[in-house]
Chains A and B, each alone.
Chain A
Amino acid sequence: MTAEFWIIQTFNGLSYGALLFLLASGLSLIFGVMRIVNLAHGSYFMLGGYVGLSVVWRTGSFTAALVAGAVAIALIGIGMERLFLRRLSGQTLGQVLMTIGFALMFQDLALLIWGGDPYTIPLPAALQGIVTAGALRFPTYRIFIIVVATLVGAALWIVLDRTRVGAMIRAAVDDREMAQGVGIHVPVVSLGVFALGAALAALGGVIGGGFLGVYPGADFEVLPYAFVVVIVGGLGSLPGAMVGSLLVGLLDNFGKALFPELSYFTLFAPMALILALRPTGLFGRA
């Protein structure tokens, strides 16, 4: 194991963790504000990728794909929350059942619209190169993922921590009834957070589509990762989602690189340990 191995694998883990952050931060926010365990969150990732794919095919623009994917899936999220989930407010089991129902329907619809063939989203030339540093080689695209996730993370942190809207969201996370009591319109906050969470997952789907591809089954492949991130980090916590994503990205990467036959073990054993010691996750509050 040379220094090179550790540097490259750390970079791989960080870039994969960055993608997981885009996927999981929305799931964490949604749970924080609405206490909804959204099993359709992986579907947002997959559908975002498919919408992005169609847009790149038509327009050739990767930027347009990012925007269109995020907007389209935000609208789907709004529809789901406004028309269905809101009616089940407080009924955890009903909500879980409904989100898994949506996930299965989205799976069938995607198969119907895009067929079963796997695709990768074509990347602009600027993102395709390699940055070399001595003997080390870093794919530009993976650097791009880290940059995007950092920007998104910073923006979310500023909004949540420094703005009035952020204060309203934090209030709704901490105590829904109290927030309602002091005049915060919690249903609107919920709707906004749901749309934002869906859009972030879709953004992850388009970016992931550039190197993981877009294919049937991607939804349920990424879903456990999103949940591990959120549970390890602490439900509803943005710093938790950040730390959780990097931790899971690094664990998954080093697990696969060092002990490939134990790839689930190296991911889930630390999760079990963290939960045993801190049942609310690293940054969660009881």
Chain B
Amino acid sequence: MKMKVILVRTLAAGLNVALATTLAVPPTAHAQGGPIKIGLLAPLTGAASALGKDMLNGTELYLDGIGFQAAGRKVELIVEDTEGNTATALTKARKLVEQDKVHVLTGGLLASTGYALHPLAEAQRIPTTYPVMSSDDLTQRKPAKWVVRTGWNSSQSMHVFGEWVAKTLKYKRIVTIGLDYAFGWESVGGFQRTFEDNGGQVIQKIWTPLNTNDFAPFVTQIKREADAVFAVFFGRAALQFVKQYETAGLKGRVPLLGNGTTTDESVLPQMGDEALGIMTALHYSAALDNPANQKFAKAFEAKAGKIPSYYAETCYTNARWIVEAVKAIGGRVEDREALLAALRRVELRDFPRGPVSIDRWGNPVQNIYVRRVDKVGGKLQNSVIATFPAVSQFWKYDPDEYLKQPLYTRDHPPCPHC
């Protein structure tokens, strides 16, 4: 009995010492440069896991390249699986901030996650970057002080594309078809606005519910007098739509246009010849021939065994963006205000996607590429056929005037020619 008590006491004493040590060490380590912690939220399981893997691979590729070192400090990447679910993402974000004490929070896939993370970032005063989430209002009518977008917004490339289609392809009548939620509305809205400002007419808008896998009920309704069809899909829906567009006999009769994700490299390799000739616009293409992208694409293929998607590039660029900000403040990431200011000052010319700066609402100003799906060496790629440099999220419109307009939704802009 006595023996037992002694044992327990010894153990307890030992534990006390151990606890005291762990508790005592971190503050000193911090001051002398403990690891800089980056918390990454990505959907690693569930339906969007392929995109999550691209996000993780892109991030790791950059950090690997710098030996997980920045400004003389070690960089630690803490990854949390969101399961592609906003509630889970929010729980994991709290865990990263409160438990792991990350210095920067990043990642996320769904627009709804973006809106949910906004209040968290503000309340916790945690420097946060969004490499993927693209809802317009995250950097327009509802910006957050602590959030910097390192990716894009939905309508940014579509403003360019709508004008280009009207002026260069000279199409007059277009039918739009897209996913019936914010991402679809904002992409179609951006396209429609500039297409119609430049003399085109959208003659039919078709919205497909998110649970659609058979697109026949929609594809068969497309008006025959259309000069072209403009589509907004991603992931498996992009694959299904493009395939079923061909199956319905429309390919070759009515040209297909789309937003960037419709032919993104996350689905393009799995498409067949049905994708040939589709024209889209985005701030990236794996086929960009600048040296930074060639180096990145090669390294990414070596690591992941596939060509980089925009999800991969944006997370690679995002990781570099964070590291550049860290370097700019000499690694003093504990000074959150300084880190946030540095994240908002990053301006580099040699990202894989091209030169990037940032506007005062926290959205990148960057090149937009018009792309066409071609077959090169037996493989499909998004060949760049036109480049628009330094495109802002407001395109040629005055930001203040632009922000007075309502957000693009299902019913805005209205469709006078439908």
Contact A16 B214 (CB under 8 A): yes
Q: How far is the CA of A213 from the CA of B216 in the complex (A)?
A: 14
> If A111-B45, A116-B53, A117-B50 touch, does A261 touch B240 (CB 8 Å cutoff)?
no
Q: How many Å from the CB of A191 to the closest CB on chain B? A: 32
Return the contact of B220 from the options A9, A115, A116, A119 (Cβ within 8 A). A9
CB of B330 closer than 8 Å to a CB of A? no
Contacts of B14-52 to chain A: CB distance below 8 A: 45-52
Contact A260 B208 (CB under 8 A): yes
Q: How far is the CA of A257 from the CA of B284 in the complex (A)?
A: 34
Contact B240 A137 (CB under 8 A): no
> If A12-B217, A111-B49, A120-B240 touch, does A139 touch B212 (CB 8 Å cutoff)?
no
CB of A101 closer than 8 Å to a CB of B? no
Contact A130 B209 (CB under 8 A): no
Contact A256 B220 (CB under 8 A): no
Return the contact of A116 from the options B50, B221, B248, B272 (Cβ within 8 A). B50
Contact A118 B217 (CB under 8 A): no
Mostly, the A contact residues are helix
Q: How many Å from the CB of B364 to the closest CB on chain A? A: 27
Contact B180 A260 (CB under 8 A): yes
CB of A97 closer than 8 Å to a CB of B? no
Q: How many Å from the CB of B123 to the closest CB on chain A? A: 33
CB of A264 closer than 8 Å to a CB of B? yes
Contact B267 A257 (CB under 8 A): no
Contact B236 A118 (CB under 8 A): yes
Q: How many Å from the CB of A253 to the closest CB on chain B? A: 5
Contact B270 A8 (CB under 8 A): no
Contact A118 B239 (CB under 8 A): yes
Question: How big is chain B's contact interface, by range?
Answer: 35 or more
Q: Mark B232-243, 1 if CB is under 8 A from A, else 0.
A: 000110011001
Contact B249 A120 (CB under 8 A): no
CB of B244 closer than 8 Å to a CB of A? yes
Contact A137 B180 (CB under 8 A): no
CB of B266 closer than 8 Å to a CB of A? yes
Contact B220 A215 (CB under 8 A): no
Q: How far is the CA of A118 from the CA of B50 in the complex (A)?
A: 9
Q: How far is the CA of A284 from the CA of B270 in the complex (A)?
A: 43
Contact B249 A211 (CB under 8 A): no
CB of A216 closer than 8 Å to a CB of B? yes
Q: How many Å from the CB of B7 to the closest CB on chain A? A: 42
Return the contact of A118 from the options B180, B209, B248, B267 (Cβ within 8 A). B267
Q: Mark A84-123, 1 if CB is under 8 A from B, else 0.
A: 0000000000000000000000001001000111111010
Chain B residue numbers with a CB within 8 Å of A221 are 211, 213
Kindly report which residue of chain A lies nearest to residue B52, judged by CB atoms. A116
Chain B residue numbers with a CB within 8 Å of A212 are 213-214, 240
> If A118-B239, A130-B249, A257-B218 touch, does A217 touch B47 (CB 8 Å cutoff)?
yes
Kindly report which residue of chain B lies nearest to residue A139, judged by CB atoms. B247
Return the contact of B270 from the options A16, A119, A263, A264 (Cβ within 8 A). A119
> If A213-B240, A256-B218 touch, does A117 touch B270 (CB 8 Å cutoff)?
yes
Interface size counted on chain A using CB atoms at 8 A? 38
Q: How many Å from the CB of B245 to the closest CB on chain A? A: 11
Q: How many Å from the CB of A262 to the closest CB on chain B? A: 9
Contact A137 B248 (CB under 8 A): yes
Q: Mark B185-212, 1 if CB is under 8 A from A, else 0.
A: 0000000000000000000001111011
> If A119-B270, A216-B46 touch, does A261 touch B248 (CB 8 Å cutoff)?
no
Kindly report which residue of chain B lies nearest to residue A13, judged by CB atoms. B217
Chain A residue numbers with a CB within 8 Å of B207 are 260-261
Kindly report which residue of chain A lies nearest to residue B84, judged by CB atoms. A217
> If A16-B214, A120-B270, A263-B209 touch, does A216 touch B47 (CB 8 Å cutoff)?
yes
Contact A211 B209 (CB under 8 A): no
Q: How far is the CA of A141 from the CA of B216 in the complex (A)?
A: 12
Contact B46 A256 (CB under 8 A): no
Chain A residue numbers with a CB within 8 Å of B236 are 118, 213, 215, 217
Contact B272 A122 (CB under 8 A): yes
Contact B220 A118 (CB under 8 A): no
Contact B212 A256 (CB under 8 A): yes
> If A213-B236, A221-B211, A260-B208 touch, does A117 touch B266 (CB 8 Å cutoff)?
yes
Chain B residue numbers with a CB within 8 Å of A213 are 213, 236, 239-240, 243
Contact A12 B216 (CB under 8 A): yes
Kindly report which residue of chain A lies nearest to residue B306, judged by CB atoms. A117
Q: Mark A261-281, 1 if CB is under 8 A from B, else 0.
A: 101100000000000000000
Q: Return 12 A-B CB contacts under 8 Å, by A number.
A: A5-B221, A9-B217, A111-B49, A115-B50, A116-B53, A117-B50, A117-B269, A118-B235, A215-B47, A256-B208, A256-B209, A263-B211
Not counting A217-B46, A257-B217, a sample of 14 additional A-B residue pairs whose C-beta atoms are within 8 angstroms of each other reads A12-B214, A16-B214, A111-B45, A115-B53, A117-B266, A118-B235, A118-B239, A212-B240, A213-B236, A216-B50, A217-B236, A256-B209, A260-B209, A263-B212
What 7 pairs between A and B have smallest CB-CB spacing?
A116-B50, A217-B47, A118-B236, A116-B49, A257-B217, A12-B216, A215-B236
